[in-house]
């Protein structure tokens, strides 16, 4: 049943604009925390089941799909790309998983490095970045910081987070939707 609500003239007034910082940084941080928790829980279950961590790195949803390791790298890279493209600051980060054989430690370290970089920002770092014209070299087009986050940054973040979760589930590791929703 749909209810019709009369809107007063006062509520039709434009709301104050919300900054990139207020809107998107909490989403990036919370999604990374949640996927870190899912990876932690899955790797603990893998340890119990005696599944080798490097085997998990090569898991895929299908034969021609990217691996778990590829999605972990891409998840962190998508956030680093947001920081370097929109905020225009470099991000210190751990080596990619292919260069280090300790899947558990490097997975956490990659996410922790990106989380640390995001948490160092404050609202002033984002001043005017929502309307600042950037050239997204990876996409080959010009867009504002806001457009970049809306049409590339967040979709990439959520895509790779969902693929990581799906690969772990397909591998029959003990992770549930509630693990992602509750996070740490």
Lowest mean pLDDT among 15-24, 31-40, 152-161: 15-24
> What's the predicted TM-score (pTM) here?
0.77
Distance between CA 113 and CA 125 in Å, rounded? 18
Write down all domains in the chain, each with its CATH number in brackets.
Answer: 19-182 (1.20.120.450)
Q: What is the pLDDT of residues 87-130, one digit of tens each?
A: 666 666 555 544 444 555 667 777 888 888 888 877 777 766 65
């Amino acid at each position: 049943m749909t209810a019709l609500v009369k809107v007063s003239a006062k509520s039709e007034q434009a709301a104050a604009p919300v900054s990139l910082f207020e809107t998107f940084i909490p989403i990036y941080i919370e999604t990374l925390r949640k996927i870190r928790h899912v990876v932690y829980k899955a790797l603990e279950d893998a340890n119990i089941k005696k599944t080798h961590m490097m085997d998990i790195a090569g898991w895929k949803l299908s034969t021609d799909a990217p691996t778990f390791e590829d999605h972990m790298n891409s998840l962190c890279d998508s956030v680093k790309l947001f920081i370097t493209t929109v905020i225009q600051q470099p991000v210190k980060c751990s080596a990619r998983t292919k260069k280090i054989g300790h899947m558990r430690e490097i997975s956490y370290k990659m996410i922790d490095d990106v989380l640390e970089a995001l948490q160092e920002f404050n609202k002033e770092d984002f001043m005017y970045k929502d309307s600042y014209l950037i050239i997204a070299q990876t996409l080959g087009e010009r867009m504002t910081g806001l457009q970049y986050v809306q049409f590339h940054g967040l979709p990439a973040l959520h895509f790779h987070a969902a693929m990581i979760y799906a690969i772990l589930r397909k591998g029959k590791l003990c992770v549930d939707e509630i693990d992602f929703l509750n996070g740490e």
